[in-house]
Structure 1
Amino acid sequence: MTPAEEILDPDLPIIDPHHHLWDLRGRYPAASPPPEHPFEVTLWRSPHYMADELAADLNAGHRVIGTVFVECSAMHRAEGPVQMRPVGETEFVNGVAAMFASGLYGAARACAGIVGRADLTLGAAVGPVLDAHLAAGGGRFRGVRNSASYDADPSILGYLARSPAGLYRAEAFRAGFAELAPRRLSFDAWLLEPQLPDLIDLARAFPETTIVLDHVGTPLGTGAYAGRREERFGIWRDNIFELAKSPAVFCKLGGLAMPFAGFPSFMAPRPSTSAELAEAWRPYVETCIEAFGAHRCMFESNFPVDAGTCDYVTLWNVFKRLAAGASDDEKAALFAGTARRVYRLDI
C-alpha cells in the first residue's frame, strides 16, 4: 500500500458500523502460498486482525468514536451444542469491547455494538441461542447476521458458497427470524445483487424487524457476471428502490472494495487514490442515498476485508468525498447518527 493520504475533515465524528476481528494464522500460516480465490486472498493478506490492528486503524487520523463488530465465525466455541458455539464469538468480542472501554487503546469505543451469528433455520428453537448471545454480550449484543449469498456460478463466492438458494424465503428460516423483533434484535443481511428480491420479500413479511442491507447489495462483475456490472446496474437500482419502500430497512454504504463487483482497483499494482475510488463507487452510493435517504444509510469500513483495495485512512477519505455535497445534518447521519440509532449505541 502507498502511504496513507492526508485526512479529510478530521473532526467529523465517525461510528464504523461494520468491521471484523479474527485470528486466521492456523488457516494461513506465514509460509502458506496465496489462495486462488480473490476474496480469500484478502484473508490471507490479513490473517491476524485483533485489538492491536483494529486500534492502529481507528487511531490513524479519522475521528472514529465507536464501532460495531459483525460476525465472521471468529472464536466460536470448540465444544458444546453446535447451535450454541457461535456464542463464543460474542464472548470474545465483548472482551475486546471491554479492552477499548478502558481507554488504553485510544478514544474510540470499539465493538460498542455486536452483531453475532445464530442459525435462524432452527426456527423457534433459536430463541435460547439468542438469549445466550444477549447474556454474553454485556449489554452490547444488538443483532444477528445470517448470510444468504448464493449464485449458481460457484466461482463467484469460492469457499464462501455455503448457503442454499432462497434461504431468506425458507419457512424454517422465517420461523427463526420471527424470534428477533420480540428481543429488539436487528438483522444484517448479506446477499448478492441478483438475490435482492428475496430480501424485499422478507422485509415485507416482517415490517416490524429492523433489517440492515450490507455492502449496498453486493453488485457483481466477476465469473458469469464479468463485464456485465454496468449492464445490470438498472436491475440493481430498481431493486434498491423497491427495498427502500420498507421503512424498517437500512443500508450500509461500503463493501465495494471486495472483489465481487469486479472493479479494477481490487489488488491493483498501484493502489487507487480516494478520489479515484469515489468516482468509481459514486453511482452505487448516490443511488442508495437517493433511495433510502441519508438517515437510513451509514458508511461502513468492512475492514479488514476491504483492505484488498485500500487502507483505512483512504477508505474514509473516499466516503468523505462522496458526502462532500451533503448538508451537515446528512453528514452527521451518514457517518455516525444512523449507526447510533439502528444499533442503539450510547456513544
Structure 2
Amino acid sequence: MSTQPDTPNDDADARPWRRRPDVATPNPPPRPEWLARVREPSLAPAQEIVDAHHHLWDRRGFRYLLEEFADDIGDSGHRVTASVYVQCRTMYRAGGPEAYRPVGEVEFVRGISAQARSGHYGPTDVAAGIVGHADLLLGADVAPVLEALMEAGGGRFRGVRVPVAAHPDPAVRSNPVPAPEGLMVSAPFIEGARELARRGLSLDIWAYQTQLDEVATLARRVPELTIVLDHAGGPLGVGPYAAGNDASHEPPHRQAWRDGLARVAERPNVMLKIGGFGMPIMGFGFGFGFGFASGAEPPDSRQLAEAIAPDVEACIERFTPQRCMLESNFPVDKGGVSYGVLWNAYHRLTASWDQEARDAVFRDTATRVYRLPADDPTR
C-alpha cells in the first residue's frame, strides 16, 4: 500500500479525464477587474430584452456557464426575460458516429435551461431557444441527425448554426474552424438546408462581408428556409480592411459590406442579428484592429454607441426593425465590453425610435423567429 498522502494533484496532464478543452481564438478573454472600472445603471430597466445570441462553455482557463451568465444579467440591471443559446462546439459527445456528436451540445444546454427554469439563478428563461449544429454537407442524410437534435432539445431546439466565416488572408480570422470557399452554395449543403426547412428549423450563419453574395444565393435557392445572419453580416476591420489615418477612421471596404448587406436584405427569408462588435475582427476600439480591449479603460455606453452607430444604422436601414434582433454575443464580446454597457449602448441608439420598433429589435423579432414560449414559463 502506498504511504503517499492522499492530496489533490493539480497537474492536469496527470489527470487527462479532468482536462477541459483548449480552444484557439483571436478574441481576448474577459478581464473582470478592467470591465468593473465602468459601471452604469440600466438606461431602460423596463424594456424587455431577449438576448438573441449567447454561448455557454467550460473551457480550460475560461468557464462561462449558467452562473456566470446569470451574474452578468443580474449585475447589469437590464430586464432580460429570455435568451437564445447558439452553437459553439461545446460538450460534444466523446464517442459514437461523428455526425451525431453535436447532439451532446443540445443535451447539455437542455439541462442548463432546466436549471434556469428553477428560478435559482434569476428570472431569465435562459436557452428558451437552442441553436445547435449539424453537418449540412451530409445532404439528405442529415435528416436523422436533425431528428436526434430535436429530440435532445426537449421542445426548445430551433435550428442549427454553421460558422462558415473564412477568408484567404490569415489576418482575417475569428472562426477556429474556417470553412472551404463555396460551401454555402454547394449542392449537398443546399440539400441539407432543405431538410432544415422541411422541419420548420432555421439556419444561423456566421459569415464575413466577403461571403454575403453566397448567403444571398443560398436564400434564393431555399426560399422556404428562415436564415439568420449573425453578427451584422460580418463587417471587417482587420488586415486589408483595417482603418487608416483618415479623418473618419472608418475601415476601408465598409461600403462594400453595406452593399452586400443590401443584396442579402432583398431575400425576405433572411433575418439579421445586430451585434458582435466586441470582436476585434470588426476593427472597433481605441487601437485600430485590436478591438475595445486595447484601451486603457473599457468603453462606456456613450463611447460604444458612437463607435457602432453607423453600422447599426446600416443594418436597420436595410432590414428594418421587424427583421433585426439584438445580441450580446457573450462571453465572446465580454473581452471588450461589459454586459450592462453593451445593452445601454443599444438603448442609446434606439432612444428616438417608437416603442414598436424598440420592442421589435429588443424582443419581438427574436421571439417570432425562434418561436420562443411567450406565455408558458414552465415549458
TM-score w.r.t. structure 1 length? 0.92
Corresponding position of 1:160: 176
Corresponding position of 1:36: none
Q: Does 1:14 align with 2:81?
A: no
Question: Which sections of structure 2, spanning at least 5 residues, go unmatched?
Answer: 1-34, 245-249, 287-291, 375-379
Question: Which sections of structure 1, spanning at least 5 residues, go unmatched?
Answer: 29-46
Distance 1:230 1:97 in 2: 39
Q: Does 1:230 align with 2:246?
A: no
Cα distance, 1:158 vs structure 2:
6.0
Corresponding position of 1:253: 274
Corresponding position of 2:148: 132
Does the residue aligned with 2:367 lie in a helix, a strand or coil?
helix
Corresponding position of 1:53: 68
C-alpha change, 1:99 and 1:161, in structure 2 (3 Å) is closer
Corresponding position of 2:59: 24
Q: Does 1:148 align with 2:164?
A: yes
Cα distance, 1:148 vs structure 2:
0.9
When Rg is computed on C-alpha atoms for both structures, the one with the higher figure is 2
Q: Kindly, what percent of the aligned residue pairs are identical?
A: 48
Distance 1:331 1:248 in 2: 21
Corresponding position of 2:361: 334
2:343 to 313, 316, 323: 316
Check the 8 A contact 1:18/1:300 in 2, yes or no. yes
Distance 1:160 1:196 in 2: 20
Check the 8 A contact 1:154/1:161 in 2, yes or no. no
Cα deviation 1:104-140 (Å, max 9, x = unaligned)? 1111100000000000001111111100000000100
C-alpha change, 1:107 and 1:159, in structure 2 (3 Å) is closer
Cα distance, 1:14 vs structure 2:
0.3
Moved over 3 A (4+): none
What is the root-mean-square deviation of aligned Cα atoms in Å? 1.2
Cα distance, 1:171 vs structure 2:
1.4
Cα distance, 1:238 vs structure 2:
1.3
Question: Match of 2:285, as an amino acid?
Answer: P
TM-score w.r.t. structure 2 length? 0.84
Cα distance, 1:264 vs structure 2:
2.2
Check the 8 A contact 2:163/2:206 in 1, yes or no. yes
Matches within 5 A, 1:257-272: 257-265=278-286, 266-267=292-293, 268-272=295-299
Q: Does 1:206 align with 2:222?
A: yes
Check the 8 A contact 2:277/2:308 in 1, yes or no. yes
Which moves more between the two structures, 203-212 or 229-238? Answer: 229-238
Distance 2:39 2:99 in 1: 42
Check the 8 A contact 1:218/1:256 in 2, yes or no. no
Distance 1:82 1:144 in 2: 16
Question: Match of 1:182, as an amino acid?
Answer: R
Cα deviation 1:151-207 (Å, max 9, x = unaligned)? 011232166242111211111111111101110000101011111111011111111
Corresponding position of 1:33: none
Cα deviation 1:57-110 (Å, max 9, x = unaligned)? 121210000000000000000010000000000000000000111111111100
Number of matched pairs = 327
Q: Does 1:281 align with 2:296?
A: no
Distance 1:147 1:20 in 2: 14
